[in-house]
Structure 1
Amino acid sequence: MQRRRFLAVTLGCCAALPRIAAARQSAPGQTLRVALIGHSGQGDYGHGVDRVWAQIRGARVVAIADADPAGLAAAGQRTGGVRGFADYRAMLAEVKPDVVAVCPRHAHEHRDMIVGALDGGARGVYVEKPFVRTCAEADQVVALARRTGTSLAVAHRNRYHPALPVLQKYLADGTLGRILEIRARGKEDQRGGGQDLWVLGGHLFNVATLFTGAPTACSATIQQQGHPATRSDVHEGDEGVGLIAGDEVHARFDTQRGIPIFYDSKKALGSAAAGFGLQIFCERGVVDLRMDIEPLVHVREGHPFIPDTTPRAWIPLTSAGPGVPETVPGLSKRILDHVAAVEDLLACLGSGREPLCGPTPASETVEMTQAVFASFAAGGPVTMPLTTRTWPLTREPIV
């Protein structure tokens, strides 16, 4: 198995974007000017989205915005005393950066921050997950990004892992036979259920659909303390995700390739040694992916549903192939620190391709999350793409 390049490889849909106007392009070798949008106390600066730029050649942070005065001062110290703004709109209008990082972990301001960056002429935008809160917000942002020719990427970090294209080739070669199903579980800590789905489910969906194609339908059940959830269980979720329900979620997605994806999350069920990840069940083996752990991928050959008296070892699959030691130096840090993701985004500027986790796959994670709540509200399966693009839950009676 040959090692695949992952900064140049294109996964999934790579629709051509309009060329960026000449006036917005940097001269060869020119340093890209980066502006950071954070909001201390409202998602802060995400998982290091403000710090990654110190590791990126050809990029320099020139300004930072934070509506919280103390947070702005602290962020300014972390970034070497760059110009600070209380209003990100004022920053974008005055600085006119090449690249904007939308850093808050909370999702409720993402749409407006992204739109501000796109309207302000940014060539690239990097967004902490979750992308946005609804399909309607995603539709708006994606349409504007394509109209302006802006490269847009979302921080589902595992999508940029170089072992994934190797795994795709390994499975396509038929070594394990046909894929039967994919099973994903959330982190299942104190956020288990609806909150886990919103905050971390997107990471799982973003990887799973690489092997199944887009979802075509969703059927879900939601429970609260062991009983079917009702209207009274609908409440405002944490981290700005909007209305959610349930401390236990079970969902099934039908997909374009006929491979079902199952998602489950139950509050306080997970542990540090298990949980957050997915398994791909095939005719002649199982693939296991543990999110944010290195190696990301392990493979075990043998029929997944027939007991075997002979122990079957889990073999790591790296960017160099199954059972071959990883050859990318410092890979875990490159993935977890967003370095691989940001390098991919910058490589897309003016190239005509979308980032590996660009508008199409990022919007898909939002729609899959929203579909779970839509199925709950409808009391049965819903087809996808969803016809209702706004909030699927209300505090009105659920039928």
Structure 2
Amino acid sequence: MGIEYATYRGTYRAGVIGHTGRGNYGHGLDAAFVGLPDVQLVAVADPDDEGREEAVGRTGAERSYADYREMLAQENLDLVAIGPRWLDQHEAITIATAEAGVKAIYAEKPIAPSLEAADRMLAACDKNGVKISYAHQNRAYPAQALVREHLASGKLGRLRVIRAFGKQDRRGGGMDLLVLGTHMLDLMRHFAGDAHWCHAHVTRNGRDATAEDVETAAEEGGLIAGDDVIAQYGFDSGVLGSYECGRAGDGGGSPYFRMEVCGTDGVLAFWSSPDSPIYAFP
């Protein structure tokens, strides 16, 4: 039997967890609940005094705490935004939040520095009936929504291939896949469902990567390798996905960060931006 999530009517009590100097509040997750109807942002937690004060100013939170555990114990929260980018904190914060009786969590990506940590986090949420969502806001951008509509209506014919590219900047390779690829892989799932297999070619300085090339990612992101990754994913109905992230000669950047969705009747291309146009090809 699946977990039954309770419906809730009234005002949701929301809190925010950040850590200034160690991932801060991610990409603006402290503002995730600000201004939403039926949501009251009651508290912010941040061990850094100055950062905590600034977050209160940005969010209008009624109270603040140096320790997120104290906030969870005192505030009877319904919703919590977990903001720090640094992955070494995600497991402890997520499990403590799930066990505190909240209804839902909105968290910064990536999930965790290892698959084992991610499994423990999701298990804690399942055990306590907590819904958790990660900051893959690209799904809500206009271009991506239009692509999904074209797929559903059949205007692209049968979906065949999804190609995605990272920013190709100094993070090209394993770091790009970790911090940027998560957005594109989420969009692949959005368009094609879950992948059933994956294989990849990882290189460093033009040669095959080896165990000696494995290193710890920045921001305590776990183990990564390579400065160039080409990965392929297999989805239902023969749909093939690919993700490429190297290091461009011009330094890379947002112009490289794009996706092409290919059907039997055409191709739609767009960039990872809320104001991206869509380019259609026959």
TM-score by length of 2: 0.90
What residue number does 1:195 align with? 175
CA distance in 2, matches of 1:206, 1:16: 24
> Relative to structure 1, is the Cα distance of residues 73 and 175 closer, same or farther in structure 2, using a 3 angstrom cutoff?
closer
- Greater share of residues in strand: 2
Identify which of 100, 103, 121 aligns with 2:101. Answer: 121
What residue number does 2:32 align with? 52
Identify which of 279, 285, 305 aligns with 2:260. Answer: 279
Count of equivalent residues = 281
> Relative to structure 1, is the Cα distance of residues 17 and 65 closer, same or farther in structure 2, using a 3 angstrom cutoff?
same
CA distance in 1, matches of 2:143, 2:174: 30
1:210 lines up with 2:196 in the alignment: no
Point out which structure has higher relative CO (alpha carbons under 8 A, 6+ apart).
1
Query: What is the 5 A alignment of 1:103-114?
Result: 103-114=83-94
Identify which of 78, 94, 107 aligns with 1:98. Answer: 78
Contact conserved, 2:44 with 2:61, CA < 8 A, in 1? no
Unpaired segments of 5 or more residues in structure 2? none
What residue number does 2:212 align with? 232
What residue number does 2:42 align with? 62
CA distance in 2, matches of 1:66, 1:273: 31
What residue number does 2:273 align with? 292
Unpaired segments of 5 or more residues in structure 1? 1-14, 303-399
Q: Which moved more, 1:127-136 or 1:108-117?
A: 127-136
**RMSD, matched Cα:** 2.2
Q: How far apart are residue 273 of structure 1 and its match? A: 6.2
Q: Secondary structure at the match of 1:120?
A: coil
CA deviations over 1:81-123 (Å, ceiling 9, x no partner): 6322221111101112111110112222112111111100001
1:43 partner amino acid? G
CA distance in 1, matches of 2:17, 2:152: 41
CA distance in 2, matches of 1:165, 1:51: 23
Identify which of 11, 19, 29 aligns with 2:5. Answer: 19
Identify which of 233, 238, 245 aligns with 2:225. Answer: 245
Matched residues, percent identical? 35
What residue number does 1:170 align with? 150
What residue number does 1:185 align with? 165
Contact conserved, 1:212 with 1:258, CA < 8 A, in 2? no
Q: How far apart are residue 165 of structure 1 and its match? A: 5.2
Query: What is the 5 A alignment of 1:313-392?
Result: none
Identify which of 56, 71, 82 aligns with 2:62. Answer: 82
CA distance in 2, matches of 1:176, 1:292: 22
CA distance in 1, matches of 2:246, 2:259: 15
CA distance in 2, matches of 1:266, 1:164: 24
CA distance in 1, matches of 2:233, 2:138: 21
CA distance in 1, matches of 2:35, 2:168: 32
